[in-house]
Chains A and B, each alone.
Chain A
């Protein structure tokens, strides 16, 4: 266990798959924008020097022996946060899309104690890049659906830029979290489990280098899978309220 500090114990969780090229710039930016945060990079079965680069930049590195996918990597970070007794964790992409200025905006929202999870929205904030139209339409439909159900306006259900407090970290650390892409369905799970979620405007940019995870046929698969996932969450409403939490 780390020593007790008077300041809240804060962590940035950064899932990374073959991001060795982006990490130096991204981590340097974080050190400036969010000093005082510990950083854990979850190397999701990379074949490049992601782990070595992250370690050389002073990050704690958890290397997964196989590629689990985004959700599996992020959940590993949640588990790391729970075991090291962090008060708050911010999940952030390693590809440079998430402007590090958002870290404090998201954390502040959670600090105020009014929400358990703060989600960075590129549509309330700024989006400096383009998306495939299938995905764009899909996202707006899902945003509408989630907004209707939770009676809170959700503009960016796919955003992976999030700050979570202890209770939310514990809720997701061992269960209740999808292994592929946390999305609109995850927001619904939070809603039914009684967590308070709100959106904070942030800036998202074009990735610095490498290939995006959303390309080719993936958007179509994504939209279909999302409808199934949302439907299943609606069927399981009661289950989420009493879902497993770690103490």
Chain B
């Protein structure tokens, strides 16, 4: 059985995590998909001290003689999951960033070239996308 004082502390910390995460999602500063694991962590923190006798029984059933160690184990697993999810997100983001940078560079080169050509020989450009000029539009 974990000491009542540390149980209260855990409970309050869990509540704080839940409130913080929900508030950030509400303000759209945290996306739902990244909030889920944090909410799970917050829930475990809040519920574990309330049902610490259940926690004790699970710990003994798993062969853990010192029940608070189960809490630490859960915390480490939770952190690893969150970090892993971040690694996945970073890989995905850097792939997208690469493509965006490449396209941006290519577009800029094309734009510069077009601008240079236009300065070199200013041609009459059609006004409309379909290649017609404003004064050529047939009135119907």
**Residues of A in contact with B (beta carbons under 8 Å apart):** 42, 60-66, 68, 72, 75-76, 79-80, 83, 179
Contact = CB atoms under 8 A, between A and B. Distances in A.
B102 A72 contact: yes
Contact of B106 (A62, A66, A72, A179): A62
Contacts of B25: none
Nearest to A61: B109
B106 A83 contact: yes
Contact of B101 (A61, A65, A80, A83): A65
Interface in B78-105: 94-95, 97-98, 101-102, 104-105
A11 to B, nearest CB: 13
B109 A63 contact: yes
A79 B100 CA distance: 13
Interface in B99-124: 101-102, 104-106, 108-109, 113
A66 B105 CA distance: 9
Interface of B: 94-95, 97-98, 101-102, 104-106, 108-109, 113
A43 to B, nearest CB: 8
A76 B106 CA distance: 8
Given A76-B106, A79-B106, A64 B101 contact: yes
B98 A68 contact: yes
A61 B109 CA distance: 7
B102 A75 contact: yes
Contacts of A83: 106
A75 B109 CA distance: 15
Given A72-B102, A76-B102, A79-B102, A66 B109 contact: no
Given A62-B109, A83-B106, A179-B98, 6 more contacts: A64-B102, A66-B97, A68-B101, A75-B102, A76-B106, A80-B109
Contacts of B97: 66
B117 to A, nearest CB: 13
A12 B98 CA distance: 22
11 contacts: A42-B105, A61-B109, A65-B101, A65-B105, A66-B97, A66-B101, A72-B101, A72-B102, A76-B102, A76-B105, A76-B106
Contacts of B102: 64, 68, 72, 75-76, 79
B94 A63 contact: no
A79 B109 CA distance: 13
Nearest to A42: B105
A42 B97 CA distance: 17
Nearest to B113: A60
Nearest to A69: B98
A80 B110 CA distance: 10
B85 to A, nearest CB: 21
A176 B94 CA distance: 15
Contacts of B98: 68, 72, 179
B110 to A, nearest CB: 9
Contacts of A79: 102, 106
B56 to A, nearest CB: 43
Nearest to B112: A61
Contacts of B104: 64-65
